[in-house]
Amino acid sequence: MPDARFPKPRHLRRPAEFDRVYAQRCTARNTQILVFAALSDQGPRIGLSVGRKHGGSVVRSRIRRLLREAFRQTQSDWPPDCDFVLVPQDAKELTVAELRASLPQLARDAARRARKKGPVETPVIPKPKKRGKSR
């Protein structure tokens, strides 16, 4: 049986990691979820972006738990050379069974597009200068 754990190195955590995936602009979607992909050398990692349009914090946390669980159970079917950001679109009736069936295929489609496009440089956005008194 493949390793079905979901350790911290499998998570996208920093805003720069999310920005790199978004900058690649390689996506696949169905009616319930949008998957962004970017090439990586650290194995399949995911980041979750669940907006407030889906409801309060309890509802958003439930959606994140479902997405994490579906990834955990199917991570051996995901392309090993990409990072992914999962963005739910219509998540009112999500179930783990539906996600297990659709997420690996969406991930493969997005990864194929990312490989075709190749690596993309992430734009560096300079930090704004502080205003006020200087001493």
124, part of any domain: no
Name which of 22-26, 29-33, 95-99, 115-119 the model is least confident about.
Answer: 115-119
Domain assignment present for residue 29? The answer is yes
- Residue 127 confidence (pLDDT): 65
In degrees, rounded to 5, the angle at the alpha carbon of residue 105 between the alpha carbons of residues 108 and 88 is 100
What CA–CA distance (Å, rounded) separates 87 from 36? Answer: 8
Domain CATH code at residue 18: 3.30.230.10
Which residues lie below 8 Å from residue 7, measured CB to CB, with a gap of 6+? none
User: Residue 51 domain-assigned?
Assistant: yes
Confidence of residue 108 (pLDDT cuts 50, 70, 90): very high
Interior CA angle at 73 toward 111 and 34, to 5°?
A: 40
Asked whether residue 69 carries a pLDDT value surpassing 80, the answer given is yes
Mean pLDDT, the chain, rounded, equals 86
What's this model's pTM, rounded to 2 decimal places?
A: 0.81
Residue 134 belongs to some domain of the structure: no
E-strand spans in 7-131?
26-29, 33-39, 45-48, 82-88
Query: Considering the domain boundaries, does residue 66 fall inside one?
Result: yes
pLDDT score at 1: 44
Does the residue 41 lie in any domain?
yes
pLDDT class of 62 with cuts at 50, 70, 90: very high
